[in-house]
C-alpha cells in the first residue's frame, strides 16, 4: 500500500492558520487532513504536524518549531535549516521518512507563511522593554 500524498495546499493552509493565531481552525484543519488522507494516529507525517501544532499552541519556546522560525527570521537560509534538520534527525534511530518530510515541508513554506503571531508578540514585548 502506498503512502498517502497530502496536498501542499492543505499543509500550507494548516500552517497559515496555525501561525496566524487561528488555533482552533488549525486544529480542525489538521483533523480534516487526518480523515481525508486516512492518516492513522501513528502516521509519521501526522505525528510531526501534530507535534508542531502542540508545541506552538503550548508556547514551548524551546521547541524546534520556535527555533526554526527564530533562525529563519534572523536571516538563516532555508537551505541551511534543511541541512540542520537532517543532521538533527540523524541522531534519531532510523527516523521515518514521512516525519522528516513534514519538517522539510514546513521549512519549504516558511517564506510563504505569516510570521507567527507568538513570535511577533515576543519580539515586540522585548522591543518595548528596551525602549
For residue 27, which of 39, 16, 18, 36 has the smallest C-alpha distance? 18
pLDDT in tens, 73-130: 999 999 999 998 888 777 777 778 888 899 999 999 999 999 998 886 554 444 444 4
Average pLDDT, the chain: 88
Give the position of cell 522539510: 104
- Classified as helix, coil or strand, 57 is helix
Q: What Rg value do the Cα atoms of the chain yield, rounded?
A: 15
- Per the domain annotation, does 72 fall within a domain? yes
pLDDT above 90 (res 2): no
- Per the domain annotation, does 1 fall within a domain? no
- Per the domain annotation, does 2 fall within a domain? no
The number of folded domains in the chain is 1
pLDDT above 90 (res 1): no
pLDDT in tens, 37-82: 999 989 999 999 999 999 999 999 999 999 999 999 999 999 999 9
Q: Give the range of the structural domain holding residue 105, as residue numbers without chain letter.
A: 8-130
Amino acid at each position: 500500500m502506498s503512502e498517502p500524498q497530502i496536498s501542499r495546499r492543505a499543509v500550507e493552509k494548516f500552517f497559515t492558520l496555525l501561525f496566524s493565531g487561528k488555533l482552533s481552525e488549525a486544529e480542525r484543519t489538521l483533523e480534516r487532513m487526518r480523515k481525508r488522507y486516512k492518516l492513522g494516529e501513528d502516521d509519521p507525517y501526522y505525528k510531526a504536524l501534530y507535534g508542531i501544532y502542540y508545541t506552538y499552541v503550548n508556547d514551548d519556546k524551546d521547541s524546534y518549531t520556535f527555533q526554526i522560525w527564530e533562525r529563519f527570521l534572523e536571516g538563516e537560509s532555508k537551505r541551511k535549516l534543511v541541512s540542520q534538520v537532517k543532521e538533527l534527525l540523524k541522531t534519531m534511530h532510523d527516523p521515518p521518512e514521512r516525519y522528516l518530510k513534514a519538517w522539510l515541508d514546513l521549512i519549504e513554506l516558511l517564506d510563504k507563511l505569516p510570521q507567527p503571531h507568538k513570535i511577533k508578540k515576543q519580539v515586540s514585548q522585548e522591543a518595548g522593554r528596551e525602549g
